[in-house]
Amino acid sequence: MSKNKNKREKKGYLEFFIVILISALFGGVGAVILEIYDKDVKSIGNLLEDVIGQGAFWLICFLSVVGSLVNIYMVWAVRKRCRTWDGEDDEAAEEIERYNSRCQGVIACCTTIVMVLSGVNIVYIFHRTENMRNIGIMCILFVSYSLWSAFAQNILVEFSKKMNPEKKGNALSLHFTRDWDNSCDEQEKARMYRAAYVVYRKSNGLYSGIFIFLLMLSVVVDIGVLPFLMLGIIWTYQNVLYICNYNKKCK
């Protein structure tokens, strides 16, 4: 038993050093390649900036219109399923809840994408084209879509509350997450905690990749300190928040 444990520990140390070595080699080789092809990288970067900056406006228009139609369909689909539920079939209720949860996830993801694209579009317009007409249209679309998404999500939450009368919370309230979590049973809380831990672990890997990419990019392009500062704030905040909440749950 102890031999197997020692083997696993040695394997863990070996894997750790291999990851560090690969990261160092990847970062070093990547930085050298970027330095060699300095001009090409800059020209590609400028091209991508123009494509993304100009495309952001049209993507916002597309996602706002299509996303609004998708919201209408998802609300209609969940309402139809809730009306056909007989109030006793537990398997059907779980299936409806899973579908409802997926719909809310789609709304949250699309809203986040539109929000990020709006930021990209604002930066591109103010510092590249100064096309104020587009920024006015973009703001109207962004605000309209965000409001409709919030109300659509609230409708989906109300459907879930009708199927589960013990659930509490108003989706439009700032305290919705707290009230909703408090009304969940232990099984639901355990499921949420497991999902949150998976997100925590995967996010650390993502942040490491972003950090290495920024290091390589900084060799060629003067990106300043702000990207590193923002990454550090987000990364540190997540780790501190996880540690504090973990210790709180242990009491």
Over residues 18-33, mean pLDDT: 59
133 and 214 share one domain: no
Q: What is the pLDDT of residue 82?
A: 86
148 and 222 share one domain: no
164 and 222 share one domain: no
120 and 63 share one domain: yes
pLDDT tens digits, 39-62: 555 666 666 666 677 778 888 889
Whether residue 166 has pLDDT greater than 90: no
Q: What is the pLDDT of residue 145?
A: 92
115 and 224 share one domain: no
Question: Could you tell me if residue 217 is inside a domain?
Answer: yes
Question: Could you tell me if residue 9 is inside a domain?
Answer: no
Answer positive or negative: Cα dihedral of 129, 133, 136, 139: negative
Cβ proximity of 224 and 233 under 8 Å: no
pTM of the model: 0.72
Question: Could you tell me if residue 76 is inside a domain?
Answer: yes
142 and 224 share one domain: no
165 and 250 share one domain: no
Last residue of a domain, one of 138, 172, 206: 172
Say which residue, 50 or 155, is predicted with more confidence.
155
Question: Could you tell me if residue 44 is inside a domain?
Answer: no
Last residue of a domain, one of 123, 149, 172: 172
Domain count, the chain: 2
Q: What is the CA radius of gyration of the chain?
A: 24
User: In whole angstroms, how far apart are CA 166 and each of 48, 160, 179, 181?
Assistant: 50, 10, 11, 11
Phi and psi at residue 37, to the nearest 5° = -100, 45
149 and 233 share one domain: no
What confidence category does residue 72 fall into, taking pLDDT thresholds of 50, 70 and 90?
Answer: very high
162 and 208 share one domain: no
139 and 200 share one domain: no
Q: What is the pLDDT of residue 128?
A: 66
Say which residue, 68 or 214, is predicted with more confidence.
68
Whether residue 179 has pLDDT greater than 60: yes
Over residues 138-164, mean pLDDT: 88
Q: Which of 163, 70, 162, 57 is nearest to 108 (CA)?
A: 70
Question: Could you tell me if residue 12 is inside a domain?
Answer: no
Cβ proximity of 65 and 57 under 8 Å: no
DSSP 83-131: HH--S--HHHHHHHHHHHHHHHHHHHHHHHHHHHHHHHHHHHIIIII--
Over residues 211-220, mean pLDDT: 76
Cβ proximity of 171 and 103 under 8 Å: no
Q: What is the pLDDT of residue 39?
A: 59
Question: Could you tell me if residue 242 is inside a domain?
Answer: yes
**What is d(CA 82, CA 104) in angstroms, rounded to the nearest whole number?**
15
147 and 204 share one domain: no
**What is d(CA 223, CA 36) in angstroms, rounded to the nearest whole number?**
18
Question: Could you tell me if residue 6 is inside a domain?
Answer: no
User: In whole angstroms, how far apart are CA 4 and each of 11, 12, 14, 172?
Assistant: 10, 12, 15, 53
Whether residue 123 has pLDDT greater than 70: yes
**What is d(CA 44, CA 51) in angstroms, rounded to the nearest whole number?**
10
Least confident of 91-95, 106-110, 151-155, 216-220: 216-220
Report the percentage of the chain scoring pLDDT > 90: 12
Q: What is the pLDDT of residue 69?
A: 94
Q: Which domain holds residue 245?
A: 185-251
What confidence category does residue 70 fall into, taking pLDDT thresholds of 50, 70 and 90?
Answer: very high
**What is d(CA 62, CA 59) in angstroms, rounded to the nearest whole number?**
5
126 and 90 share one domain: yes
Neighbours of 115 (CB within 10 A): 13
Report the percentage of the chain scoring pLDDT > 70: 75
Q: What is the pLDDT of residue 17?
A: 64
Whether residue 196 has pLDDT greater than 60: yes
Question: Could you tell me if residue 11 is inside a domain?
Answer: no
What confidence category does residue 71 fall into, taking pLDDT thresholds of 50, 70 and 90?
Answer: very high
Last residue of a domain, one of 121, 150, 172: 172
Give 190's Cβ-side CA count (13 Å radius): 3
